[in-house]
Structure 1
Amino acid sequence: MDNTLISSDNTWALWSFLTGWAAISIYLEQKYKWASKISGAIIALIGAMVLANLNVIPLESSVYDAVWNYVVPLAIPLLLFQANIKKIWQESGRMLIIFLLSSIGTVAGTIISFMLLKDVIPHLDKIGAMMAGSYTGGGVNFAAMAAKFEAPSDLVSATVVADNMMMATFFFVLMAIPTFSFFRDKFKTPHIDDVESGVTGDESETQAASFWKGKEISLKDIAISVASAFALVTVSFNLADFFASILPAGEDVNITFQVLGGIIGDRYLMLTTLTVLAVSLFPRQFESIKGTQEIGTFLIYLFFVVIGVPASIAIVVTTSPLLLVFVLIIVLMNVLVSLVLGKLFKFNLEETLLASNANMGGPTTAAAMAIAKGWHKLIVPILLVGTLGYIIGNYIGTGLGFWFQNLM
């Protein structure tokens, strides 16, 4: 059935491609300045998109499902092991405010886009719910809203395609904005200034290479970090499933139970909560583990490769051009509102762009941007704040979805 060079059931070949292309993306980012500017994450995504459209790799495979189901959950605690919330509250508190302000742009953009296109795109109430959730916290919310509103599978696939293409363009734009003097003149840029003033020694070294310099790591570090990640995922997912099974569900259920189910019955929210709680209770133990960021980041690079795969350019051009228009309006409104409110409330450019990124793509893409740009002090805060989008996005998506249903 496959018309691709690598078939969907060629498991080892696909895993070789995922890990190999992720490794190449990281190598390019750390070796060449042009690659560092656009980030290895974007290289991973674009490369997968191109190869999928050239029929080198399949659009669907159980290997990709494994990345979503196992690799991404393991990456989340690994990336949060150094996140002692007590230490970074003041710094992340500012980030939380601009993140919430940025989410206003998502809500406004979704409403405007829905009103303009509801008569020409079928099931736009369901699409609106999915994209409002996704563009407030990331892909986790997209999946949750798609399941909640029982969107048709072909509709979900078409929306994913449009979303992935738009995100690739969006990340390029966000990466490019700090290079324009217009924005540098309008905003304070302390983190960019630190990066530019701190370049010493070998100027051929990229910021990514500087951040990911080799460091001491032992077998014990690898064992403890991986085992802890597995344990946290296991406990979190089973606990969330337990609460989801005992809490009443349905539209006629009391709002208190709906809110409670959305918080403690969600696997990813439970995972984030338990990880941050564990790190807060045992800060010395977790901070002493070396290599967690490196392992977690490599796993996230596999995720970046996978999300680029479904972006079939032919499908978008022939069957869902209006969906591109729909998501484009939301993205433009988010960026516009983020920049305007960021300027109004005196946030710096780096915080504003990362907040917009965390809204649209989730905490991982925002952290990848901070890493690529060398904004080291903002990596953990945007990871923490971005995970709050998992909660906020579900509520925003649900509220807008039910409202849109009444307007169709």
Structure 2
Amino acid sequence: MLLTTILSVGFPFLALRLEKNDRLPSFFSAVVLCYAFGIIIGNLLPQLVHEQTAEQLAAVGMIIALPMLLFGANIKENWRLAGPGLLAYGLCAIAGLIGTALAAYYFQESQPDGWKVAGMLTGLYTGGTPNMQAIGIAVDAPGDYVVLLQASDIVGGGIYLLMLMTIIHPFLGRFLPSFSMDQIDKAEEASLEEANNGFRFLPTIISLGVGAAAAGLTYLLTGDIGKHTTLLILLLTTISLGLSFSPRISNLRGAYLQGEYFLLIFCVALGLMANFQKLLGEGLQLLAFSLVALISTILIHWLLAKIFKIDRDTVMISSTAALYGPVFIAQVTTAINNRRLLAPGIALSLLGLAIGNYLGIGVAYLAKWLLIQF
């Protein structure tokens, strides 16, 4: 029990250090490293893992992480910053909804709970990994699904990220207009990078309060928190977004970085619970599902961008914001030599983090209903 806690809480610190190592490929993010570490320990040294403790750490990690990740969403400010990228991002979100729905329909026979996967992938393709993890909890998906989909995203998402930073820019130039420097009046250097001033108690205390409030409301409304995790996640998201309108909350120093750290605790704990034999048995099916959803999302996004005549740079940044979150915006803007889209890209990714849970949970239950009807 103690060792499981030490592994889950301690490794994220090392993962964040390794993430900054230039020798590692860019898709080896701290999230990927934490999942990989958890899976390796959980399968090679299962005697070190106390499964009940890992499960509790995963739940607590997500409940504490999500509010702190959302505190900086600042929807009003980010809406202004995003500018013309809002349309491109909206089209990417629509493409994600259609792409995941198509995958759920295509795999309905071989993946009977594909509606859960569709919802999780919708969250992944609109806000990133935190949304996928939260939606997985909300729809009561098996814990292995989060790890399997993350592994699948490393394959498909890693390839697409590499293409975004290499060949996609000239390719999109064949049928999309070039970026106009007059499109953005001023690119404010908004960034998620914060000085490493150590752990701050206030963001964590407020996040714990939000979690307690969401859990309390869920209990009052339903009488059972465990069976109504969807409501818990929605309340957690809504309360956090409401608080983000307060400058005192949205400007809390260290909130995002601490939220990321608790998210990594969730990743390690979930990896520790992953059964490798099950991964081998079900991994190929979910890999195929996620690849169909990803490729469909990308192609539909490009088609919509062509119809609405959106420039290639904005399309690429909106796609990066939706599929990868804020951490890779700087890499792609540097690769396409357009730093003016850095601030709007980060703004879009934060908006995606804010709406991803609503979209993902909505798509999951809509897909469930449609699959029953048809």
Q: When the two structures are aligned, how many residues end up with a matched partner?
A: 338
Work out which of the residue numbers 101, 117, 124 in structure 2 matches 1:131: 117
Work out which of the residue numbers 168, 188, 198 in structure 1 matches 2:154: 168
Change (3 A) 1:115 1:82: closer
* Structure 2 partner of 1:289: 252
Alpha-carbon contact 1:335-1:356 (below 8 Å) kept:
no
Alpha-carbon contact 1:236-1:267 (below 8 Å) kept:
yes
Question: How many Å apart are 1:272 and its aligned residue?
Answer: 2.3
Please report the TM-score for the alignment, with normalisation by the length of structure 2: 0.75
Change (3 A) 1:82 1:112: closer
Question: How many Å apart are 1:28 and its aligned residue?
Answer: 1.2
Change (3 A) 1:177 1:13: same
Distance, in Å, in 2 between the alignment partners of 1:231 and 1:213 is: 24
- The one-letter amino acid of 1:15's match is T
Within a 5 Å distance, the mapping from 1:58-77 to structure 2 comes to 61-77=51-67
Distance, in Å, in 2 between the alignment partners of 1:393 and 1:354 is: 16
Distance, in Å, in 1 between the alignment partners of 2:96 and 2:169 is: 21
Which blocks of at least 5 consecutive residues in structure 1 are unaligned?
Answer: 1-10, 148-155, 191-209, 247-260, 358-365
Question: How many Å apart are 1:349 and its aligned residue?
Answer: 0.8
Within a 5 Å distance, the mapping from 1:83-102 to structure 2 comes to 83-92=73-82, 97-102=87-92
Alpha-carbon displacement from aligned partner over 1:321-369 (angstroms, at most 9, x marks no partner): 4343333322322233234434554233121122134xxxxxxxx2444
Matched, 1:355 2:327: no
Give the match's secondary structure for 2:67. Answer: helix
Alpha-carbon contact 1:92-1:385 (below 8 Å) kept:
no
* Structure 1 partner of 2:278: 315
Matched, 1:145 2:139: yes
Change (3 A) 1:144 1:301: closer
* Structure 2 partner of 1:39: 29
Distance, in Å, in 2 between the alignment partners of 1:129 and 1:393 is: 10
Please report the TM-score for the alignment, with normalisation by the length of structure 1: 0.69
Change (3 A) 1:115 1:275: closer
Work out which of the residue numbers 223, 230, 234 in structure 2 matches 1:269: 234
Work out which of the residue numbers 350, 357, 360 in structure 2 matches 1:393: 360
Alpha-carbon contact 1:105-1:330 (below 8 Å) kept:
no
Which blocks of at least 5 consecutive residues in structure 2 are unaligned?
Answer: 124-131, 181-190, 334-341
Distance, in Å, in 1 between the alignment partners of 2:218 and 2:83 is: 27
Give the match's secondary structure for 1:83. Answer: coil
* Structure 2 partner of 1:232: 210
Change (3 A) 1:274 1:132: same
- Percentage identity across aligned positions? 18
Alpha-carbon contact 1:105-1:335 (below 8 Å) kept:
yes
- The one-letter amino acid of 1:142's match is G
Give the match's secondary structure for 2:139. Answer: helix
Alpha-carbon contact 1:140-1:390 (below 8 Å) kept:
yes
Root-mean-square deviation over aligned CA pairs: 3.6
**Structure number with larger C-alpha Rg:** 1
